[in-house]
């Protein structure tokens, strides 16, 4: 083959490699998402004594969790779940008699109290290193606070992209995190509708249940699901809303205490996800995930992790405390 032909083929291969993989496209634009009929079907449905969460899987396929009593933190008994896979017609039949609801976190839009430091309110990114803002005045993932903190209460609102063809439950589905001190991570991910034994059952049992329901093995461990303390503890409740819904974390964090170079008290954390307590004064023996390999410190920055997905943030404030 002539050299010019080789060059032509090489250019074709490069073009193919640079082309986004079909099915993994993400959007942060609700108007764009609404052009996909699957987006208009996904979401939460409710009637007296029951709730259904419908997660879009792309191509007209859906995963449905029917919850006894109602929706999480709104009537569900916290344990009884029936799951089904189906197309749009099957979902329509399943939710017959239900009302589609769009819930709002009870702490969404919370105003900073006295003594709070506003980290982001849509006017500027002055409080952030590598802070970047969208035209509609939302903070983009990948920013770290310029200030360091010790003990605090943090309020942050976030929105996950709509990415239905990314495998449900995988780390490709809106991955980010609230990374305290670059060591302790409260995971940000789209695991809406996935309810798999947060405090019971072995790894093998939950993996088998997931695989039976969805037809493929989970792409993430439960300790990588939304609101998990990454690779350390699954949230007590999966309180996640559908992608492109605004969600909230309210985090009460106590830093590790040192006497000289010696740590004398471990860090502790309480987390509310969309107003639901999902971690209750949990002791952190060390950092979580990759953060566990770093020596702990008594104060540091807060990082909104960039991990290959377009996540957006708004209304972030912090109340330092003793």
Please tell me the number of Cα atoms within 13 Å of 213 on its side-chain side.
22
Asked if the structure places residue 23 within a domain, the reply is: no
The verdict on 262 and 295 lying in the same domain is yes
Q: Which residue from 244, 230, 260, 248 is spatially nearest to 309, judged by alpha carbons?
A: 244
Count of domains in the chain?
2
User: Tens digits of per-residue pLDDT, 244-296?
Assistant: 999 999 999 999 999 999 999 999 999 999 999 999 999 999 999 999 999 99
pTM: 0.91
Residues 49 and 183 in one domain: no
- The answer on 154 and 79 residing in a single domain is no
pLDDT at 200: 78
Domain presence at residue 164: yes
Q: What is the pLDDT of residue 196?
A: 87
Average pLDDT of the residues in 193-212? 88
Domain check: are 95 and 51 in the same one? yes
* Proportion of the chain above pLDDT 90, given as a percent: 88
Two tokens at 121? 């309110």
Could you give the CA distance from residue 32 to residue 88 in angstroms, rounded to a whole number? 20
Q: Are residues 180 and 250 in the same domain?
A: yes
In a 13 Å sphere around the CA of 6, the CA atoms on its Cβ side amount to 3
Q: Do 165 and 294 sit in the same domain of this protein?
A: yes
Q: Which of 101, 131, 146 is the last residue of a domain?
A: 101
Helix boundaries (H) for 124-165: none
Rounded to an integer, the average pLDDT of 222-229 is 96
Instruction: Note whether 301 and 147 are within 8 A (CB).
Output: yes
* Residue 163 lies in domain: 117-321
Confidence of residue 201 (pLDDT cuts 50, 70, 90): confident
pLDDT at 282: 98
Give yes or no for residue 16 having a pLDDT over 90.
no
Average pLDDT of the segment spanning 10-24: 35
In a domain, 18, yes or no: no
Region 54-64 average pLDDT: 97
| pLDDT-derived band at 25, boundaries 50, 70, 90 | confident
CATH of the domain at 213: 2.60.120.560
258, part of any domain? yes
More confident residue, 302 or 2: 302
Domain co-membership, 129 together with 262? yes
Angstrom distance (rounded) from CA 164 to CA 39? 8
User: Does residue 51 sit in the same domain as residue 181?
Assistant: no
What pLDDT does 202 receive? 86
* Beta-bridge partners for 85: 63
User: Could you give the CA distance from residue 161 to residue 145 in angstroms, rounded to a whole number?
Assistant: 23
- Per-residue pLDDT band for 9 (boundaries 50, 70, 90) equals very low
Residue 304's beta-bridge partner residues?
178
pLDDT at 1: 43
- Please report the pLDDT score of residue 229 as a whole number: 97
**What strands lie across the sheet with 50-58, from one edge to the other?**
81-87, 61-68, 50-58, 43-47, 99-101
Mean of all residue pLDDT scores within the chain: 92
Looking at the fold, whether 127 and 221 belong to one and the same domain comes out as yes
pLDDT > 80? residue 7: no
141-166 confidence digits (pLDDT tens): 999 999 999 999 999 999 999 999 99
Residue 37 has pLDDT above 50, yes or no: yes
Structure tokens at 31: 């108007």
**Least confident range of 59-63, 116-120, 197-201:** 197-201
In this structure, are 84 and 125 located in the same domain?
no
The answer on pLDDT for 41 being more than 90 is yes
172 is a domain residue: yes
């Amino acid at each position: 083959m002539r050299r010019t032909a080789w060059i032509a083929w090489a250019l074709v291969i490069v073009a193919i490699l640079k082309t986004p993989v079909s099915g993994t496209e993400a959007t942060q634009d609700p108007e764009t998402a609404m052009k996909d009929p699957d987006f208009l079907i996904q979401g939460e449905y409710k009637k007296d004594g029951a709730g259904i969460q419908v997660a879009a899987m792309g191509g007209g396929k859906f995963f449905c969790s029917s919850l006894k009593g109602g929706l999480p933190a709104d009537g569900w008994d916290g344990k009884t779940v029936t799951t089904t896979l189906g197309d749009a017609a099957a979902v329509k039949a399943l939710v017959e008699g239900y009302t589609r609801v769009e819930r709002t976190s009870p702490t969404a839009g919370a105003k900073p109290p006295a003594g709070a430091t506003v980290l982001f309110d849509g006017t500027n990114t002055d409080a952030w290193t590598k802070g970047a803002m969208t035209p509609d005045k939302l903070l983009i993932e990948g920013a770290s606070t310029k200030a360091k903190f010790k003990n605090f209460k943090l309020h942050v609102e976030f929105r996950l992209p709509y990415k239905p063809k990314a495998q449900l439950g995988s780390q490709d589905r809106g991955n980010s995190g609230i990374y305290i001190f670059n060591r302790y991570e409260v995971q940000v991910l789209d695991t809406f509708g996935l309810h798999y034994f947060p405090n019971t059952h072995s790894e093998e049992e939950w993996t088998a249940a997931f695989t039976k329901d969805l037809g493929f093995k989970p792409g993430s461990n439960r300790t990588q699901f939304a609101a998990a303390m990454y690779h350390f503890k699954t949230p007590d409740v999966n309180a996640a809303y559908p992608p492109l819904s605004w969600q909230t974390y309210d985090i009460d964090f106590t830093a590790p205490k040192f006497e000289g170079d010696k740590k004398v008290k471990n860090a502790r954390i309480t987390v509310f996800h969309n107003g639901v307590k999902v971690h209750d004064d949990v002791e952190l023996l060390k950092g979580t995930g990759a953060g566990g390999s770093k020596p702990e410190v008594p104060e540091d920055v807060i990082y909104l992790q960039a991990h290959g997905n377009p996540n957006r943030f708004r209304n972030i404030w912090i109340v330092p405390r003793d």
